[in-house]
A = this chain, B = another copy of it.
């Protein structure tokens, strides 16, 4: 059975998946970039952007796992971009330039229809207006037996958690405080939803945990 997987979702010590005041200048909210220092340093991440440097070890292993056997992606609209409401035009094509690091179909959840966009490197953004179940169905069909990776942000992950649709979730707890922003787990009873901590691997840069269904 194809799985829905979350990988490399970073949260602060106080539980925030992004800082406050997300904008074009601060796609991850104020202070949010610090959450991702562990992954940006890795060879896997650097390679996505054509660089040959980068660390290996625990952090890189976790970063790399996030790309294994993935056949399609789902993103929340706020992870795709800062545009809110109806799409004014087709200018915004994601944060990632002409050749985004997905190389598959990417299903973007939105309330506002928009034509699919084909990018370089085999990434195509599709805009799904009929909800999280429909997005998952389309992503699974596109993945042809491989798994689907759910990117974020926090609100999107919460929706899929509450619906019991996430099979495996790697969270990296970064050694920073954000104080406010988008909390990942607030109001979600993970135990009641059937999750437990299946793996716990700390590194100097982050604590990696994998939540799995019991």
Contacts and interface: CB of A to CB of B under 8 A. Distances in A.
A72 interface: no
A67 to B, nearest CB: 24
B209 A13 contact: yes
Given A177-B211, A207-B207, A197 B31 contact: no
Interface string A157-197: 00000000000000101011111100001101111110111
25 contacts: A13-B171, A13-B173, A13-B209, A14-B188, A15-B15, A15-B185, A31-B191, A173-B173, A173-B207, A175-B197, A175-B200, A177-B190, A177-B197, A177-B211, A178-B191, A179-B189, A179-B190, A179-B191, A179-B193, A180-B189, A180-B191, A180-B192, A200-B204, A202-B203, A202-B207
Contacts of A177: 190-191, 195-197, 211
User: By CB atoms of chain B within 10 A, which of A191, A193, A200, A204 has the most?
Assistant: A191
A185 B186 CA distance: 10
B191 A13 contact: no
A209 B15 contact: no
A203 B13 CA distance: 16
Nearest to A200: B175
A15 to B, nearest CB: 5
Interface of A: 13-15, 31, 171, 173, 175-180, 185-186, 188-193, 195-197, 200, 202-204, 207, 209, 211
Contacts of A196: 176-177
A196 B188 CA distance: 26
Contacts of A209: 13, 175
Contacts of A173: 13, 173, 207
Given A202-B202, A202-B203, A207-B207, A14 B179 contact: no
User: By CB atoms of chain B within 10 A, which of A179, A186, A189 has the most?
Assistant: A179
A194 B195 CA distance: 34
A179 B203 contact: no
A176 B13 CA distance: 15
